[in-house]
A and B are shown apart, each in its own frame.
Chain A
């Protein structure tokens, strides 16, 4: 493997790790953060009929999990093409 390719592979992996890290920070913030650690504080606010912390723990986090996976899949497919490692 030439140095060039090696650097490209390393840059691809770094971009991948960055994407995953961003997604996991959000994943942690909505579930463990809003749904658990700060749920009581958020329950002072209301979203329609829901106390906000309760909503995050029972519904909101699930919706955001789904959005995260969709974003990740889209973003990784794009990275695969940019770094020319996609499957033909």
Chain B
């Protein structure tokens, strides 16, 4: 069977599975729509959180980024996992005990202020739409490459699937679909990783193969990789280019941002008890770690395979480079997508791939090289990896299904928090207080549907900024929502005025800094101009500190929160009675 037919079958089967689950788990109350009736098993919730959290970026882009960044890629590995420690210990159990539906609801209640609640909704919507546009783009790319349909068709199919299970099933439908999507995406990630590890090192466990010796030799994979790429003028894989302070700030912003992302936090509202929320955070990190421990291995091996394929002989030897006309099938297929580009600068019909900025010029001249001839997009590393390693077609089909699963599951989680913020926080609690539960549920469904259409449009017509604003989503979550929630639990003294000023200051500062360096004056976006040497990706860390400091000072200068709020904090801190808290609804 040819690859295309096989891919259609595998992706089709996975869609049938999601839709089947969606029909089986229809939501019938707002409680089921927002938080799956709080009846989700912690292990299932951990898997759902994993799928929810691991987006198209984690599945498709991360290993590719690490592949080219090497040590600098650690910011993603530590940043996107370390946040779960903060979530598990500082937020999840308490928010579960509080037992409401949304993140803005907690902020509004704790700070006895509708203004605080609306500020939180604004942060949430901005964070979520930024993120979801990227997911829809990912859906389009996977469809167009693997199923060879127009990006628009791919997007419409993706939107249709998300529509069915997010709008019908709400959180309940999404949760169980995400469990299925987790299984698809982790299988799709690990199977090729195992094959490639076996081929290169003979060790079938990718995280261990990463540190193992090459098959039949006693050279370590990492040592060989370092040598191969540094011969071509690239930075060694185990070294980085970023400054220590920048690595520190980016890791911190990603960690705190992860803990502040509303679609992740809300997953901990869906388990029955406080102890389940703690356990669930552990399961979530376990399921995420399965992929995140493989990712650097996949990145390193893909880089080695790619370099080894192109630079097939010794550096500088006349026949040391791959002949373009003899390029493998994956090369030709990825050229069609524009993610891989070759330009024969010296006209020798062979592919030269090296870092012309750092490779000694006289040596290049001596070899007859006229510059680097290959442009590789990060994103192809995971998707093309099975083909580069010549794995069977069913593995490639599975990777396509996995990429779509990763993008759809995250998109659905984000759309749900947008829709509950609109129907629950803006309509039911602020602007249309009189509506019945049935009307609220309908409003939730309609706003989910509208959000899907907007997301689809942004995926098809990405506003120029989408690719550059991942930093936005994390920076804003880190500098606005996380400190407000954390202080609301761990301090009884932080009051309404402090929290609102803190959120606005953190948000405003982070927003302005990113806006300036990414859009207003992008040419100034170099280390010399950054404050304290911190790039826009890491500035959320400073925004977070400003938020904390401002909230603390303003709270000291204004009246303490009323007694009932201090009692509320005491109530949140003690686990007993979380199950009973559900009865209030």
B76: min CB distance to chain A, Å: 10
Do B251 and A86 touch (CB < 8 A)? no
- Across the interface, do B275 and A80 meet the contact criterion of CB distance under 8 Å? yes
| Contact residues in A for B85 (Cβ distance below 8 Å) | 23-24, 27, 65, 68-69
Interface string of B572-585 (1 = CB under 8 A from A): 01111111000000
Check A65 against B82 for contact (C-beta < 8 Å).
Answer: yes
The answer to whether B282 and A37 have CB atoms under 8 Å apart is: no
A59 with B293: CB separation less than 8 A: yes
Instruction: List A contacts of B73 (CB < 8 A).
Output: 58
Closest-by-CB residue of A relative to B299 is: A58
Q: Is the CB of A36 within 8 A of B579?
A: no
Rounded to whole Å, the gap between the CB of B197 and the closest CB of chain A is: 13
B275 touches A49 (CB 8 A): no
Complex contacts, A54 vs chain B, CB 8 Å: 71, 74, 238
A contact residues around B574 at 8 Å (CB): 9, 12, 85
| Minimal Cβ-Cβ distance residue in B for A57 | B74
User: Which residues on the B side are within 8 Å of A61 (C-beta)?
Assistant: 77-78, 81-82
Give 1 or 0 for each of B216-248: 1 = CB within 8 Å of chain A CB.
000011110000000000000010000010011
Residues of B within 8 A of A68 (CB): 85
Picked from A31, A37, A62, A87, the residue with its CB within 8 Å of the CB of B275 is: A87
A35-88 residues with Cβ-Cβ distance < 8 A to B are 35-37, 39, 43, 47-51, 54-55, 57-59, 61-63, 65-66, 68-70, 72-73, 76-77, 80, 85-88
Q: Is the CB of A48 within 8 A of B212?
A: yes
Interface centre among A13, A63, A85, A87 (most CB of B within 10 A): A87
Q: Is the pair A66, B292 in contact by a Cβ cutoff of 8 Å?
A: no
Smallest CB separation, B388 vs chain A (Å)? 22
Partner of A50, one of B89, B90, B222: B222
Contact A85 B223 (CB under 8 A): no
Query: How big is chain A's contact interface, by range?
Result: 35 or more
Q: Are B248 and A32 within 8 A (Cβ)?
A: yes
Supposing A49-B223, A54-B71, A58-B77 touch, asked if A69 and B210 sit within 8 A by C-beta, the answer is no
B577 engages A87 (CB within 8 Å): yes
Q: Which residues of B contact A13 (CB under 8 A)?
A: 573
The answer to whether A66 and B289 touch across the interface, beta carbons within 8 angstroms, is: yes
Decide yes or no whether B84 CB sits under 8 A from chain A: yes
Query: Is B93 in the interface zone, CB < 8 Å from A?
Result: yes
A54 to B74, CA, bound (A): 8
Please indicate the chain B residues that have their CB under 8 angstroms from the CB of A63 in the complex: 289, 293
Partner of A35 from B74, B90, B211, B575 at Cβ < 8 Å: B74
> How many residues of B sit at the interface, in one of the four size bands?
35 or more
Q: Does B285 contact A (CB under 8 A)?
A: yes
The answer, yes or no, to whether B324 is at the interface (CB within 8 Å) is no
Contact B575 A62 (CB under 8 A): no
CB distance from B214 to the nearest CB of A (A): 10
Closest CB in chain B relative to A18 CB, distance in Å: 12
1/0 per residue B269-313: CB within 8 Å of A? 000011100110110011001001100100000000000000000
Least CB distance, A25 to chain B, in whole angstroms? 11
Closest chain-B Cβ to A52's Cβ sits at a distance in Å of: 10
CB contacts (< 8 Å) of A65 on chain B: these are 81-82, 84-85, 285, 289
**How far is B577's CA from A86's CA once the two chains are assembled, in angstroms?**
8
Residue among A9, A36, A39, A62 with the most chain B CB within 10 A?
A62
With contacts A24-B85, A50-B211, A50-B222 taken as known, whether A66 is within 8 angstroms of B90 at the C-beta atoms is no
Query: Is B213 on the interface with A (CB-CB < 8 A)?
Result: yes
Query: What residue of chain A has the Cβ atom nearest to residue B211's Cβ?
Result: A49
Residues of A within 8 A of B74 (CB): 35-36, 54, 57-58
The docked-state distance in angstroms from the alpha carbon of A70 to that of B238 is: 30
Across the two chains, which residue of chain A brings its CB closest to B272? A87
Contact call B78/A62, Cβ cutoff below 8 A: yes
Q: Tell me the A1-21 residues at the B interface (CB within 8 Å).
A: 9, 12-13, 16, 20
Contact present for B289 and A87 (CB under 8 Å): no
Cβ of B444 under 8 Å from chain A: no
User: With the chains together, A31 CA to B247 CA distance in Å?
Assistant: 11
Residues of chain A contacted by B247 (CB below 8 angstroms): 36
A48 touches B211 (CB 8 A): yes
Q: Which residues of A contact B244 (CB under 8 A)?
A: 36-37
Q: Measured between C-beta atoms, what is the minimum distance from A17 to chain B in Å? A: 8
The reply to whether the CB of B402 lies closer than 8 angstroms to some CB of chain A is no
Q: Which residues of A contact B (CB under 8 A)?
A: 9, 12-13, 16, 20, 23-24, 27, 31-32, 35-37, 39, 43, 47-51, 54-55, 57-59, 61-63, 65-66, 68-70, 72-73, 76-77, 80, 85-88
> 20 A-B Cβ contacts within 8 A?
A12-B574, A13-B573, A20-B89, A24-B85, A39-B71, A49-B210, A49-B212, A49-B220, A55-B211, A58-B71, A58-B296, A59-B207, A61-B81, A69-B84, A69-B278, A70-B282, A80-B274, A80-B575, A86-B576, A87-B274
Residues of B within 8 A of A (CB): 66, 71, 73-74, 77-78, 81-82, 84-85, 88-90, 93, 207, 210-213, 220-223, 238, 244, 247-248, 251-252, 255, 273-275, 278-279, 281-282, 285-286, 289, 292-293, 296, 570, 573-579
Given A51-B222, A62-B78, A76-B93, 6 new contacts (CB under 8 A): A49-B213, A49-B222, A65-B285, A72-B89, A73-B88, A87-B275
When A and B form their complex, which 8 residue pairs have the shortest distance between CB atoms, in order from nearest? A49-B220, A57-B74, A49-B211, A73-B278, A69-B282, A58-B296, A54-B238, A69-B88
